[in-house]
Amino acid sequence: MKIITVSNQKGGVGKTATVVNMAGYLSREHDLSVLVIDLDSQGNASWSLSDSNLEFNISDVLFSDKFQSEDVKQLNLGQGVHVVGADSSLADIDSIDIKLLVTRMSAFLNAVNEAGIDVVLFDTPPSLGKALTSALLVSDYVICPIELEAYSLQGVSKLQNVIQNIRKFNNNLKVLGLLPSMVDNRNKRHRDQLAKITELYPDLVIKHPIGLRSSVADALSEKVFLGDFKKSSAKKARQEFSELTSWICDAITK
């Protein structure tokens, strides 16, 4: 089982779109069993994937001892997408001891692994709190969607500092890369920024950017898998997420 955190300490950069569409393509095109864990109290991933929500939420896992790993083993977690949804209690996550959070999350993930899940995807809030920290501490990989704006370079520096600190406790954590997100190729500023970031971080920038396309937001709002979204305007978006997910599969199976 591979565990991937999708992270950026800035909101509105396409984290949830990345998680939801990666989950769909990993399941549909690569025949994998995928578990999405929504750690963002806004619950956008849980909402877009509501048809796949399990009967318990993340608070049952992290905030009490009532959750038992045997509950996971009794679920049918075969091929497809399954979701541990967010709920309002996540707003209180920073009041919980980080060691306890990681212990409970690790126990849950061990049960998930035994139940046959192939890939876990964490959707995380846009802040370096205990939700993001606990996810990174139990993950194998992190991928960081970024906007192509001037301040994105500042975010890269912050990400490197965070990863360096996390690796003191989780030396298995690897950076899959920076994912240029919501890219408008007609915008000279975006083109210039992409060239600049690629020059500065040639080994970090993922060569499968995701364009600024209304079809991605439309599919999310209609709770429709992008691959099933029939509008002709979605063709390029489907291709981009398909290629990105294939690249990710190759990267995590090397």
Q: What is the pLDDT of residues 81-90, one digit of tens each?
A: 999 999 988 8
Beta bridge partners of 83: 36, 53
Q: Which of 121, 157, 128, 161 is nearest to 142 (CA)?
A: 121
What backbone torsions phi and psi does residue 199 show, to the nearest 5 degrees?
Answer: -70, -40
Q: Which of 216, 225, 159 is nearest to 184 (CA)?
A: 216
For residues 15-19, average pLDDT: 93
Could you tell me the pLDDT band of residue 67, with boundaries at 50, 70 and 90? Answer: low
Residue 97 burial (CB count, 10 A)? 9
What value does the mean pLDDT of the chain take? 89
CA distance 20 to 151: 25
Residue 12 burial (CB count, 10 A)? 11
How high is the pLDDT of residue 20? 96
Sort 185 into a burial class: Cβ within 10 Å, 0-12 / 13-18 / 19+: exposed
Are the C-beta atoms of residues 196 and 188 closer than 8 Å to each other? Answer: no
Residue 68 has pLDDT above 90, yes or no: no
Residue 172 burial (CB count, 10 A)? 10
CA distance 195 to 188: 11
The least confident of 14-23, 68-77, 155-164, 169-178 is 68-77
Structure-token pair, residue 105: 């999350």
What backbone torsions phi and psi does residue 106 show, to the nearest 5 degrees?
Answer: -65, -40
Residue 66 has pLDDT above 70, yes or no: no
Residue 97 has pLDDT above 90, yes or no: yes
For residues 100-129, average pLDDT: 92
User: What are the tens digits of pLDDT across the range 213-238?
Assistant: 889 989 899 998 898 888 777 899 99
Residue 167 has pLDDT above 90, yes or no: yes
Residue 117 has pLDDT above 70, yes or no: yes
Collapsing DSSP states into helix, strand and coil, what is residue 228? Answer: helix
